[in-house]
Chains A and B, each alone.
Chain A
Amino acid sequence: MNAARVEASRRAEVRSAARAWRRAGAIDAATLEHIEAAWPEGRPRMAAAWRVLIFVIVTVAANALFFAVATLIHGESGPGPWLFFAVCLSAATEILLHRSAIGENGSAAATSFWSVVYAVVGIALVEDAAAAGAESMITVSLLAATALFALAGWRWGYAAYGVCAAAAFFLLLARLPEGRILWLVAGAALLAAAYRLQGLRSLAPSHRRAAGGILLVAAAAVYVAVNRYSLDAHSIEALRHGAGTFPQPAPALGVLSAAATAVFPVLLIVWGLRSRRLLVLDAGLAASALSLATLRYYVHLAPLWAVLTAAGGALVLAALGLHRWLRRAADGERRGFTAHPLYGRGGRGLEAAAVVAAFAPAARPAPAPEPGNLTPGGGRYGGGGAEGSF
Chain B
Amino acid sequence: MNPDVVEAIERLRREGVLTEVQASPLERAARGELVSVEAELRTLLYAGVVLITTGIGLFLKENHERLGPAAIGTLLALAAAACLGYAWRRLPSFTWRSAGATHLGADYVLLLGVLLIGADLGYLEVQLHLLGAEWPYHLLVGSLVAFLLAYRFDSRAVLSIALTSFAAWRGVAVSLSFAARSPSTIPAVRANALACGALFVAAGIASARTARKPHFEPVYVRLGLLLLFGGLLTGAFGSATASWFLWEIALLALASVVIAAAYRLRRALDFSIGVLAAYFGLLRILFQATHDASGLLIVAASSVAVVVLLIRAQRRMREDR
Contacts and interface: CB of A to CB of B under 8 A. Distances in A.
Q: Do A and B bind each other?
A: yes
Interface of A: 10, 13-17, 19, 21, 26-27, 31, 34-36, 38-39, 41, 44-50, 52-54, 56-58, 60-62, 64-65, 67-69, 71-72, 102, 105, 107, 198-201, 205, 276-278, 281-282, 285, 289, 303-316, 318-320, 322-324, 326, 333, 336-344, 347-349, 351-352, 354-356, 358-369, 374, 376-390
Given A57-B307, A356-B174, A376-B129, A44 B315 contact: yes
A98 to B, nearest CB: 17
A351 B307 contact: no
A363 B167 contact: yes
A352 B123 contact: no
Nearest to A58: B307
A364 B168 CA distance: 6
B57 A382 contact: yes
A315 B45 contact: yes
A359 B161 contact: yes
A378 B168 CA distance: 13
Interface in B69-110: 104-105, 108-109
A72 B42 CA distance: 53
Contact of A315 (B35, B44, B175): B44
A205 B3 CA distance: 9
B118 to A, nearest CB: 5
Contacts of A277: 32
17 contacts: A38-B11, A45-B320, A47-B317, A199-B1, A311-B51, A342-B29, A343-B26, A359-B115, A360-B160, A361-B122, A361-B168, A368-B182, A377-B135, A378-B135, A385-B50, A390-B61, A390-B127
A46 B36 contact: no
Contacts of A354: 46
Given A61-B304, A319-B45, A369-B185, A386 B40 contact: no
Given A14-B8, A57-B307, A46 B51 contact: no
Query: Binding site of B, secondary structure by majority: helix, strand, loop or mixed?
Result: helix
B139 A361 contact: yes
Interface of A is mostly: helix
Given A305-B56, A323-B104, 6 more contacts: A46-B318, A53-B276, A105-B310, A309-B52, A386-B58, A388-B57
A14 B4 contact: yes
B318 A308 contact: no
B126 A105 contact: no
B43 to A, nearest CB: 8
Contact of A308 (B52, B105, B307, B320): B52
B252 interface: no
Residue of A14, A57, A380, A381 with most partner-chain B CB within 10 A: A381
B184 interface: yes
Contacts of A56: 276
A283 to B, nearest CB: 12
B52 A312 contact: yes
A57 B320 contact: no
B306 interface: yes
B225 interface: no
The 5 closest A-B pairs by CB, nearest first: A386-B57, A312-B51, A309-B55, A308-B55, A315-B48
Interface in B22-69: 22, 25-26, 29-30, 32-64
A378 B295 CA distance: 46
A16 B181 CA distance: 46
A311 B205 CA distance: 41
Contacts of A201: 3-4, 7
Contacts of A44: 314-315, 318
B292 interface: yes
A220 B274 CA distance: 38
B297 A68 contact: yes
A308 B58 contact: yes
B50 A384 contact: yes
B40 A285 contact: yes
B37 A326 contact: yes
Nearest to B35: A276
Interface in B281-306: 283, 292-297, 299-300, 303-304, 306
A365 to B, nearest CB: 7
B185 A366 contact: yes
Contact of B185 (A15, A303, A367): A367
B229 interface: no
Contacts of B219: 352
Given A31-B17, A45-B318, A13 B62 contact: no
